[in-house]
Amino acid sequence: MDTPVPHPEDFAHIRIIIGMVLGLSLARLVNGLTRFVQHPGRNRIYAVHLGWVIFLLISIVHFWWYEFHLSRIREWTFPIYLFLVVYTMIFAALTALLFPDQMNDYKGFEDYFESRKRWFFGLLAILFVMDVGDTLIKGSDYFRALGVEYLVRQAAFVLLSVSAMFIANKRFQLALVVIAIAYQVSWILRSYDFLQ
């Protein structure tokens, strides 16, 4: 049986929907960050919240970059398409959680983030699990090329995200986001410098 040859328009079609959702996610983060410049006295910056904003900015740009590997898929199915749309929507939900439409019920971003952190970290854990599915979709060769570190990384991020849902210690929260940003940057530079 011949392996089907992917039609270039299949990938372009998927890329458009992913790009739209990720574009909205990036716009939400950028608009949220500009609020601090537009209205510096309205809401105080909370380092943990700002750290996760930076982490998501890096992660969304990274996600958009490595999704180019979807071009390797030989046969597109609706379940694969749906999985990718849901995966992308998790990014949009996380950005909406970081920058809500209004902050009237909260004293600031610290109060807001602490009251919504279980939702945020729960979705973050789901995102890391879905990343494994996304990697498997790209093929076993791609999955193996990432090495054992990839699975350890994903498991650690899931466990830390679930732990962060219940740990109120702000030093732990700050250390977690700083380590997450540093590791994410390191991982990107070591694993995805070039499209191969």
For the stretch 7-52, pLDDT in tens is 556 677 788 888 899 999 999 999 999 988 887 777 788 999 999 9
User: In the structure, what pLDDT confidence band is assigned to residue 175 with cuts at 50, 70 and 90?
Assistant: very high
**Runs of H (alpha helix) within the chain:** 8-38, 47-66, 78-98, 109-137, 140-145, 147-166, 170-191
194 pLDDT more than 60: no
For the stretch 111-144, pLDDT in tens is 999 999 999 999 999 999 999 999 998 888 888 9
155: Cβ–Cβ under 8 A, 6 or more apart, which residues? none
Domain ranges of the chain: 8-192
CA 100 – CA 21 distance, rounded (Å): 17
Tokens for 100, please give them.
């809500």
CA dihedral of residues 101, 106, 110, 112 (deg, nearest 10): -50
What is the reported pTM?
Answer: 0.89
1 pLDDT more than 50: no
Q: What is the maximal distance between C-alpha atoms in the chain?
A: 66
